[in-house]
Amino acid sequence: MKVNEIGEIGLINRFSKILRSEYLGDDCAVLDLGEDYLVVTIDMLHRITDFPYEMTPYDIGWMSVAVSLSDVASMGAKPTGVVAAVGLPGDTEVEFAEGIISGMSECARSYGTEIIGGDTDQHAELTIVTTALGRVDKDKVKLRSKAKVGDLLCVTGYVGTPAAGYKVIIEERAVPEDDKKLLSKYFFKPMPRVEEGIKLSKYPFVTSMIDMSDGLGKSIYELSTASDVGFLVDADSLPLRPETIRLAKDRKELLEMAICFGGEFELLFTVSPDKIDDISDVAFTIIGKVVEEGLTLDDKGKRSEIVCKGYEHLRKKRNDVH
Amino acid sequence: MKVNEIGEIGLINRFSKILRSEYLGDDCAVLDLGEDYLVVTIDMLHRITDFPYEMTPYDIGWMSVAVSLSDVASMGAKPTGVVAAVGLPGDTEVEFAEGIISGMSECARSYGTEIIGGDTDQHAELTIVTTALGRVDKDKVKLRSKAKVGDLLCVTGYVGTPAAGYKVIIEERAVPEDDKKLLSKYFFKPMPRVEEGIKLSKYPFVTSMIDMSDGLGKSIYELSTASDVGFLVDADSLPLRPETIRLAKDRKELLEMAICFGGEFELLFTVSPDKIDDISDVAFTIIGKVVEEGLTLDDKGKRSEIVCKGYEHLRKKRNDVH
């Protein structure tokens, strides 16, 4: 069997059996430093699936660091360093390469950290791998595995914006110029929720957290698997930008964009219902609740199974709707 | 100007100016954890330049982890975790992928650590990036920058073995069967000097250290730049396996193999001459000394400049002699 037949989840399951490591299963591995935890993540991005030619080198560098910082954010950790391996085609202009490094550096610095090391290599396809490190108090780390039945499901910011950006920029769907401007901004320069993650880590009643880089649907799936629970999502509660709503052809497409699309940089988390009003310093939206089993979408009383598992890197291209 | 015209060193110099980070310049970045240091490194390997088709998937995995552990070793640190990003062509057999993960896992476990996290992705070219973490006491960390004039230059193990392996396996040079067997073993399953690095870190009179993944010549160049010193290397002192000596066509080729070839997994370090006899628990060879300036090879009284800078990833293929 080939890896593109088994898919990413199948492959990861097989790899996990070989690795037999207690560290696997969250957005970051967690290492005990004694006083606190070190979290560490690694992400591979490359030209064909992650860097459309509409992106500037600066955007490419920014995006590469942002994806790793988003993983650190999802653990409630404070970033403490990023290392990056950059594989460049030999005929890349030096200025282009410098643009990538500038974007990487500025993204890291925007979040209070920096690029502390790296490796450069010649590679047929532009390939960037980043590792972000972070630290978090032991009693504050957030995992995927602690969601409880009855908890409320919450998300920072909006969902569906990367999908809308993809449709405007890559598929060239016609929208008002102002909408295009805004959607491009979020598509090319995503802002990982580092501050929000750190703030949410302080609340012991935030029971689980995950970033949404693979989309809402897959993130819910991951939470459900790790916590052995189900989710009921209320379609009408999904926070959508007006630009996203205007762009969608119909409600079906709108919900697909909101649920089955990768590239989101928001945090998805669960909260004990009796304490949720105590979260005073983070803007978020309640989009559903934790139930015994199943991944269900309630759209004005009509219920359906959330079947998309979000982006499967080994099967489809990034940002494909599926 | 293109990146393959400027070369790896030129590019890294440009990147360093953009990053303005105090952490750059050693085999690993060093982060202050309060009580001790965390060291972190990242290395990109890929099919065309690093994984000849003679390698098994297990070898590929082993090699990918070994290169990062070698960086940790060069700082005198104890490995505490490895994360890896694995980009696989879609038509890769699942068994092949599992073989890679087995090799990675066993290499990490052989050195007292494990694969604690990762990322999988579809990639046109098999590409593996590893990040290794380590910890070292603050007063024991070894850097490239502290070599002093008068120090002795030392190396663990042998030099030239990867070059000999390359010539036998890739260039198919005819050698006795036993020689081929031994050279293949070291070529396919290199052993980073983790234990030796930890032991050497305990000696305050070991003034600088670097791994030799880019070859002796480039490693000396890196030490000389970081410490602002020169080196005088004695050709007759270079520790060479009998198999390597037998394989070389002539002395010129032998010295090229020993000095100008990448893929070495030994540690190169400098030691205060009056204390060198105190190193009782590590096998090593004195191959030269630190001088005011210049990189000079003394071959039976005939002196020449060491001009090879070792492997430049952005110009040549790995293991090319140049």
What would the DSSP string read from start to end of A276-289?
Answer: GGG--SS-EEEEEE
Our CA angle for B146, B148, B149, nearest 5°, is: 160
- Pick from B263, B205, B316: nearest CA to B70: B263
pLDDT at B161 over 70: yes
Residue B14 annotated as part of some ligand binding site? no
Contacts of residue B133, Cβ cutoff 8 Å, sequence gap at least 6: A31, A38, A40, B38, B39, B40, B72, B79, B80, B81, B82
pLDDT band, residue A309 (cuts 50/70/90): low
- Interface size A-B, in CB pairs within 8 Å, comes to 231
On chain A, the residues whose CB falls within 8 A of the CB of B315 are: 122
Angstroms from A237 CA to nearest CA on chain B: 32
Angstroms from A249 CA to nearest CA on chain B: 31
- Per-residue pLDDT of A46-87, as tens digits, reads 999 999 999 999 999 999 999 999 999 999 999 999 999 999
The single-letter code of the amino acid at A101 is I
pLDDT for residue B91: 95
For chain A, give percent helix, strand, coil, nearest 5: 40, 25, 35
Contacts of residue B314, Cβ cutoff 8 Å, sequence gap at least 6: A88, A90, A120, A121, A122, B3, B4, B6, B7, B8, B11
- Per-residue pLDDT of A132-150, as tens digits, reads 999 999 999 999 999 999 9
Residue A228 annotated as part of some ligand binding site? no
pLDDT for residue A320: 35
Segment 258-287 of chain A within 8 Å of chain B by CB? none
Given an 8 Å threshold on Cβ–Cβ distance, is A314 in contact with B122?
yes
Is the distance from CB of B77 to CB of B122 less than 8 angstroms?
Answer: no
Given an 8 Å threshold on Cβ–Cβ distance, is B117 in contact with A29?
yes
Given an 8 Å threshold on Cβ–Cβ distance, is B42 in contact with A131?
yes
- Per-residue pLDDT of A221-231, as tens digits, reads 999 999 999 99
pLDDT at A316 over 50: no
d(CA A34, CA B313): 38
On chain A, the residues whose CB falls within 8 A of the CB of B9 are: none
**How large is the average pLDDT for residues A37-41?**
96
Given an 8 Å threshold on Cβ–Cβ distance, is B116 in contact with A38?
no
ipTM over 0.85? The verdict is: yes
- Pick from A148, A160, A299: nearest CA to A230: A148
What SS3 class is residue B62? helix
pLDDT at A313 over 60: no
Contacts of residue B134, Cβ cutoff 8 Å, sequence gap at least 6: B28, B38, B39, B40, B72, B75, B77, B78, B79, B80
pLDDT at B296 over 60: yes
Residues of chain B within CATH 3.30.1330.10 domain(s) are 3-137
pLDDT at A253 over 90: yes
d(CA B61, CA B97): 9
**How large is the average pLDDT for residues B85-102?**
97
User: Which CATH code is given to the segment(s) A152-305?
Assistant: 3.90.650.10
Residues of chain A within CATH 3.30.1330.10 domain(s) are 28-137
pLDDT band, residue B211 (cuts 50/70/90): very high
d(CA B72, CA A123): 24
pLDDT band, residue B309 (cuts 50/70/90): low
Residues of chain B within CATH 3.90.650.10 domain(s) are 152-305
pLDDT at A315 over 80: no
On chain B, the residues whose CB falls within 8 A of the CB of A44 are: 85-87, 119, 121, 123, 127, 129
For strands B78-88 and B127-137, give the pairing.
Answer: antiparallel
Given an 8 Å threshold on Cβ–Cβ distance, is B1 in contact with A93?
yes
CA gyration radius for chain A?
19
Q: How far is CA A305 from CA A232, A296, A298, in A?
A: 9, 5, 9
Superfamily of structural domain A28-137: PurM-like, N-terminal domain (3.30.1330.10)
**How large is the average pLDDT for residues B208-213?**
94
Segment 28-87 of chain A within 8 Å of chain B by CB? 28-29, 31, 33-35, 38, 40-44, 46, 48-49, 80-81, 83-87
**How large is the average pLDDT for residues A16-26?**
85
The single-letter code of the amino acid at B107 is C
Residue A131 annotated as part of some ligand binding site? no
Helical pair A94-110 and A57-74, crossing angle rounded to 10 deg: 30
Our CA angle for A141, A146, A151, nearest 5°, is: 115
pLDDT for residue B316: 38
For residue A223, what are its two tokens? 């939470």
DSSP bridge partners of A289 = A152, A232
Kindly state whether A150 is in contact with chain B, defined as any CB-CB distance less than 8 angstroms.
no
For residue B232, what are its two tokens? 């005088």
The residue with tokens 């870190």 is B201
DSSP bridge partners of B118 = B84
Angstroms from A206 CA to nearest CA on chain B: 24
- Per-residue pLDDT of B190-207, as tens digits, reads 999 999 999 999 999 999
**How large is the average pLDDT for residues A94-116?**
97
**How large is the average pLDDT for residues A108-113?**
98
What is the percentage of chain A residues whose pLDDT exceeds 70? 96
Contacts of residue B78, Cβ cutoff 8 Å, sequence gap at least 6: B72, B112, B134, B135, B136, B194, B198
Average pLDDT over all residues of chain A: 93
Residue B50 annotated as part of some ligand binding site? yes
Average pLDDT over all residues of chain B: 93
pLDDT for residue A9: 82
Residue B213 annotated as part of some ligand binding site? yes
On chain B, the residues whose CB falls within 8 A of the CB of A28 are: 117
Given an 8 Å threshold on Cβ–Cβ distance, is B122 in contact with A34?
no
Superfamily of structural domain B3-137: PurM-like, N-terminal domain (3.30.1330.10)
CA gyration radius for chain B?
19
DSSP bridge partners of A41 = A132
- Pick from B147, B175, B148: nearest CA to B161: B175
DSSP letter at A268 equals E
What is the percentage of chain B residues whose pLDDT exceeds 70? 96
pLDDT at A171 over 70: yes
